[in-house]
Structure 1
């Protein structure tokens, strides 16, 4: 019998377990990072970013987001350090000093391997990185069931002229590659985007798009679209404002490849 078994049921459980430690969100809550501005001018500028998990997007009413996986990629390919970082009860905040012309990618990426196994007659649990699995399991572990989670929350800001160097995908988890620049979205023009799962087009995925400001509306006014065979989806913006985009995918394991539970949460601003 194979020592390692991969269970589709564990894939769903892994997502729940990962949410306890990762800055993502259970089904009822939404993870977001909202910048104070997305398009700026001048030789340098500052932005503030709020990050939280809530029932309505951009409403800090449930929990602050953990920022363990935060990366800020500049237009020159260099990583920036967040400044004035703080975690409150309902939201986390940090500032970013933009000193290079071009587009920045601000992403909080978390994930890992969750496994359960039998040892000394008891079912036990293990969590770690893909590099640590399966070597990190204790000697004598049997009936191992494992799943991989990959979760991304991101937004984009531009100082001066638009650039696209930060859009190169990593090939891991569920990622969005803009076909319309995310800092060049305007009300009267549709935005086009491509979703990739482990670097391949994510076809047939349902994408939920929600505009901020739900606190004062009787309806959330959400939009749902589906990716085509190339992983591409298009959004007709009903109004200007800040928008949240969400998609999720479950990929079964094959051979030595673990089942994958992946989520994408992106924030873009649509200008009048």
Structure 2
């Protein structure tokens, strides 16, 4: 189905998230836009941002908005408007003042470490800048992990464009083959994952349909090929959450391993 036909149908900070205790690691972070394909002279969207047990329901903690940014269709930096954070979710608005595709993204990096001190295993989590003074000099068996996380979603006013979709070359990122705002239930979609700008091969991608609190959600798992590409056959229309994670790439912290993850929310429209 063409974009024109679809147009007729449509007419945490991460550092804060990384600071959530390990017990919350099973929870899912997400950005949920009120719409992804819009028309008109001055459209706006509202976005919910949260970390939850059930996808797109507010039942755990909010995602902080201080590290959320907007990439405009021309590649310039936009801004979120009217941000507010409550007990279980944050909300904000984005004005689509330019025609084309916007990327809404929450990125950040942090570090975690484990070590032995006085015969006891100690654990630490914080920013990379704090690491130098966080671990005692007499500590042994020190293991350091640099963590990078990217959470995204997309919205398009009018015809889709590609400038905002360009990878930054840092961390795990999505490089669309199929445009993320041109998804239809009856058509497979292909994307690529890149790590520091290079193909992320043999990476498992989890795909979960949201909004299924009282029924079993559709869940898929696919793997990237040697070029980082993967294809999804959508079970039905709806909002979908995608997550992938890798170990590797170049760490900015000496003697550290690196963990990078990527999350996006995509809307798949009916035929």
TM-score, structure 1 normalization: 0.82
Aligned to 1:44: 42
Structure 2 residue aligned with 1:5 = none
**Which residue does 2:29 correspond to in 1?**
31
Question: What's the counterpart of residue 9 of structure 1?
Answer: none
- Is the 8 Å Cα contact of residues 43 and 100 (structure 1) preserved in structure 2? no
How big is the shift at 1:142? 6.0
- Counting only pairs closer than 5 Å after superposition, residues 223-234 of structure 1 correspond to structure 2 as 223-234=220-231
Q: Is the 8 A contact 1:33 1:155 kept in 2?
A: yes
Instruction: Name stretches of at least 5 consecutive residues in structure 1 with no aligned partner.
Output: 1-16
2:80 is aligned with 1:82: yes
- The structural deviation recorded for 1:262 is 1.5
Residues 199-225 of structure 1, C-alpha deviation per residue, up to 9 Å, x if partnerless?
2211111111111221131x2221111
Task: Look up the SS of the partner of 1:183 in the other structure.
Answer: coil
Q: State how far apart, in whole Å, the 1-side matches of 2:32 and 2:24 are.
A: 19
1:127 shift after superposition: 3.2
Cα distance, 1:138 vs structure 2: 8.1
Q: Give the Cα separation in 2 of the matches to 1:260 and 1:212.
A: 29
Matched, 1:238 2:235: yes
Separation in structure 1 between the aligned mates of residue 26 and residue 246 of structure 2, nearest angstrom: 17
Task: Please state whether the residue corresponding to 1:71 is helix, strand or coil.
Answer: strand
Deviations 1:57-104 (A, max 9, x none): 111111111223211110112212211111111111000111001100
Cα distance between partner residues in 1 of 2:248 and 2:24: 19
Whether 1:262 and 2:260 are equivalent positions in the alignment is: yes
Maintained 8 Å contact 2:33/2:48: yes
Alignment-derived partner of residue 192 in structure 1: 190
CA distance in 1, matches of 2:152, 2:23: 14
Does residue 103 (structure 1) correspond to residue 93 (structure 2)? The answer is no
Instruction: Look up the SS of the partner of 1:50 in the other structure.
Output: strand
Q: Distance in 1 between matches of 2:138 and 2:110?
A: 19
Corresponding residue for residue 249 of structure 1: 246
- Given that residues 196 and 249 in structure 2 are in contact (C-alpha distance below 8 angstroms), is that contact kept between their aligned partners in structure 1? no
* Root mean square deviation of aligned Cα: 3.0
* CA distance in 2 between partners of 1:23 and 1:268 (Å): 27
Alignment gaps of 5+ in structure 2: 1-14
